[in-house]
A and B are shown apart, each in its own frame.
Chain A
């Protein structure tokens, strides 16, 4: 009896493993698909549906299709928040590019056998909770923080500077945390440049400077674009950095969304703001795909 059962079990499992039957593939894929459907696709679909619903009093919903929530995101009260978010995310992305490009260049061209180790070192702060990274900057930038007390001891300033709760702190915090998102794609595209292109450029008489601007930089552009998208989009949705490092005047889109869901109780409006974020993400990815396709066509 037991042996018969075992052989049946073996046959069933072998059918799954072999996968000549398409149904076996579907059985193996089903659990993960259901999981993603329930915890990812349906919630996103519901959120988008919610963004077209009108909110009634006391957090109730009025079921009628309209675009009012989207219009509200662009009215005079909230437009500054949206614009500020774009500006801060843009500034942080620019800062990351400025800081990250030389590093990616160094790792790709000069680091040799240290490459892997340097990349891992870059990733560790990202893997620790973003809360910890933000907290570290609170220690340094605070009124009684390390930087202020250092400057006071050196008698460079008489009164503590207001560093925390400023746009500067928010942009610094964003750039700090999202730096790996910039460096990794840059590194990836620099790695792909065939080294003999550079040799050819040198052989033809171009100097280091000219080779960099005429060969290396243009060839690394896909990485630049990818890095900018990967940095810019998460910066748009960040709410922790601004809520700890920013002041009342550096309230960002992420904070606005957080408030709609956790305090303001205007979920449809919050959903519309989140949907705008999704549109930005989808736009960025479409842009990247197109660039990638163009690049592979050129080669």
Chain B
């Protein structure tokens, strides 16, 4: 009985969580400029998005940024998590083990303003590359966590030992055995990193130089003028992209995403 009451409550809470998204999705197909009443189905807000050159440019920038940031974060995450899980204990390991989680715990605004003041101070130009490098830093905990978990679960290393008994060098054992086994986690981590960069607004807001417009920055400047059907459609596209990326990650790693905020 108690369970049923709680179930009803939880259902209600999920309703509360998804209601705003549902409203936005519904109105993105509504044939009226104002988000008040249903006037009929239309796809014109979406088609106007696909004809908006500025927006397509922002999409291209965001995708390039996310791809570069994810690539860097994945390589750095693979190297460091390998050393942390497979090598004998060494000085600095536990220090690094807590350092790489720091970007996850800092309020976003702290990262944004510290990067801004540091870049300006050290005359690092605020351009596409500095933004991509900063995104790689933000995404690093996600790739490292994902790959580290996988390497730990493969830890006993019997397969590698067998390969080496059969004459493989350490490198061959890694390349032929460990890497293929860790591949889903590597790719899954890369997808998370991609999502983090793709969705990032706060850091980009502070350090994107003039002329660098990512998707979230574009959404922000559109929101400054209030609620419009174009933003409804754009918001839906962003939500859809996130859901697809997370689904792909889930499919690859087969683990639930809950444990890591």
Contacts and interface: CB of A to CB of B under 8 A. Distances in A.
B113 A271 contact: yes
A146 B35 contact: yes
A41 B118 CA distance: 10
B155 interface: no
B24 A136 contact: yes
B252 interface: no
B171 A33 contact: no
A237 B82 contact: no
B46 interface: no
A262 interface: yes
Contacts of B2: 208
A139 B27 contact: yes
B44 interface: no
Contact of B86 (A19, A145, A236, A254): A19
Contacts of B140: 32, 35-36
B256 A116 contact: yes
Interface in A108-137: 109-110, 116, 118-137
B113 A47 contact: yes
Contacts of A125: 17-18, 21
Interface of B: 2-3, 6-7, 9-10, 13-14, 16-21, 23-24, 27, 34-37, 72, 75-77, 79-80, 82-84, 86-88, 90-93, 96, 99-100, 102-103, 105-111, 113-119, 121, 133-134, 136-137, 140, 144, 169-174, 195, 199-202, 206, 216, 219-220, 223, 226-227, 231-232, 235, 238-239, 242-243, 246, 250, 256-259, 261
Main secondary structure of the interface of A (DSSP, over half): helix
Q: Which 8 A-B pairs have the closest CB atoms?
A: A237-B107, A136-B20, A19-B87, A43-B118, A14-B170, A119-B258, A28-B83, A43-B114
Given A32-B80, A40-B137, A131 B219 contact: yes
A281 to B, nearest CB: 7
Contact of B239 (A18, A132, A244): A132
A120 B256 contact: yes
Contact of A261 (B10, B116, B257): B116
A240 B35 contact: no
A99 B109 contact: no
Contacts of A68: none
A127 B223 contact: no
A25 interface: yes
Contacts of B171: 10, 13-14, 16-17
Contact of A31 (B24, B79, B86, B103): B79
A296 to B, nearest CB: 18
A157 B236 CA distance: 31
Contact of A257 (B99, B109, B242): B109
Given A43-B118, A46-B118, A129-B216, A102 B9 contact: yes
Interface stretch (A71-79, A174-182, A193-201, A217-225): A174-182
A239 interface: yes
A186 to B, nearest CB: 12
B24 A102 contact: no
A178 B27 CA distance: 25
B133 to A, nearest CB: 6
A43 to B, nearest CB: 4
A120 B77 CA distance: 24
Given A125-B18, A261-B206, A267-B117, A31 B76 contact: yes
A91 interface: no
A92 interface: no
Nearest to A125: B17
Contacts of A35: 72, 76, 133, 136-137, 140
B6 A106 contact: yes
A50 interface: yes
Contact of A120 (B3, B99, B105, B258): B258
Contacts of B103: 36, 40
B35 A103 contact: no
Contact of B110 (A128, A146, A274): A274
A142 interface: yes
B79 A149 contact: no
B123 to A, nearest CB: 13
A123 B17 CA distance: 10
Nearest to B215: A129
A27 to B, nearest CB: 8
Given A10-B172, A39-B134, A116 B109 contact: no
